Amino acid sequence: MIKLTFVQSDGSRIAALAEAGDTVMQAAVAAGVSAIAAECGGACACGTCHCVMTPEWAKRLPAAAADEVDMLEFVIDPQPNSRLSCQVTVDELMDGIEIHVPESQI
């Protein structure tokens, strides 16, 4: 299992476990990260799974596709490392990643 840590806006941390091939959104929902609402179920259609990757992790991930970039224009307070967690696929190299949940998601 691959360990992911979701850092909430108040600084609290939620540990999650995922398998390679899962999305970050699936791991968040399974771990009970309530700020990741995932209302569209991973269809890249709503932005309710907005998260922010740390700079060191963001540069390791594949770039966002055009549809994700377009959807990120509609989230509240997008950051340079903002991603839709439904569009980030977990792999073994992500073990230990920290993913920040923006305050606007609460």
Q: Is residue 20 scored above 90 in pLDDT? A: yes
Q: What is the mean pLDDT of residues 99-105?
A: 90
Q: What is the CATH number of domain 2-105?
A: 3.10.20.30
Residue 105 pLDDT > 90, yes or no? no
Give the percent of the chain with pLDDT over 90: 96
Q: Would you kindly state where each structural domain of the chain is located, as residue ranges?
A: 2-105
- The answer to whether residue 104 scores a pLDDT higher than 90 is no
Provide mean pLDDT across the span 16-43.
Answer: 96
SS3 19: coil
Look up residue 88 and give its amino acid: V
State mean pLDDT over 64-88: 96
61 to 9, 11, 55, 70: CA distances (angstroms): 22, 23, 10, 18
Confidence of residue 47 (pLDDT cuts 50, 70, 90): very high
Q: Once rounded to an integer, what is the mean pLDDT over residues 48-58?
A: 95
Residue with the two structure tokens 């009970």:
32
> Could you tell me the CA-to-CA distances from 19 to 16, 25, 26, 83 in Å, in that order?
10, 12, 10, 19
Classify residue 72 as left (phi > 0), alpha (psi -120 to 50) or beta: alpha
Q: Above 90 in pLDDT, residue 36? A: yes
